[in-house]
Amino acid sequence: MNKIGLTFLIPLYFSACIGKHTSEAPKASITAARPPVTMKHTGDTLKIDTKKSELHWKGTKMRGAGKHEGDISLQSRYFISENQQLIGGKFIVDMTSIEVTDIPDHEPIPRNNLNNHLKSEDFFHVEKFPTARLLITHIKPLQGDSLLVAGNLTIKDFTKNIEFGATYSNASFVTRFTIDRFLWNVAYKGNLANKTLVDKDIELTINLKLKN
């Protein structure tokens, strides 16, 4: 771990022990990567409006004693639709864009330190792995506008299949779930006072607006 990251994290340990932060988002089911479902190329490509869409993350530390959250930008993104139903899609995430939003702009030093730490080898190592991607392998319509979505999520050089619930209506795709980031080797696993510095679950909130 670099000195900047350690210098930043130690004060956080002492200041983050007020309150408790937990996620009520459902956990995504995580299994080995799956081959994509073979699709006929007769579907429509539905592009995402990045200006109206968001990909938000939230992570906790010290067993929920503290948290941080922020945004990441989509680089390439589309759904495939057939007979007015979503059947597939592919999304490329620009990991170099990861940004903390709960440290105000008027505190540039801690904000920049955490942004840089997230981009370092301790977490996403964006110099070597500048993108992450989700390739949808299956979408099952459920009751109403609900969907069960499965896709191969690649972060760094690890790929696993995740399955999560979502809704799709009025050209809007919305989901919120947690994943165990340790399964993608995304975490600094050091400890302080015999406690893990960062918790394994990270919450993702995805709100995608389709272009008209």
**Dihedral of the CA atoms 9, 131, 183, 70 (nearest 10)?**
40
* 11-20, 111-120, 145-154: segment of lowest average pLDDT: 11-20
pLDDT in tens, 123-171: 999 999 999 999 999 999 999 999 999 999 999 999 999 999 999 999 9
CA 92-199-125 angle, to 5 degrees, is: 40
- Looking at residue 28, what is its pLDDT? 96
pLDDT per position as a tens digit, 198-212: 788 999 999 999 987
**What phi-psi label fits residue 156: left (phi over 0), alpha (psi between -120 and 50 degrees) or beta?**
left
Distance of CA 134 to the CA centre of its chain: 10
Q: Which domains does the chain have, with CATH numbers?
A: 3-209 (2.40.128.110)
More confident residue, 180 or 41: 180
Compute the average pLDDT of residues 73-78. Answer: 91
Q: How far apart are CA 68 and CA 104, in angstroms?
A: 12
The per-residue pLDDT of the chain, averaged, comes to 84
Closest CA to 62 of 200, 184, 183, 181: 200
Cβ contact 201:38 at 8 Å: no
- 87: which 2 tokens? 């059947």
Quickly state the pLDDT bin for 66 (edges 50, 70, 90). Answer: low
**DSSP string of 161-198?**
EEEEEEEEETTEEEEEEEEEGGGGT-S---EETTEESE
Read off the pTM. Answer: 0.83
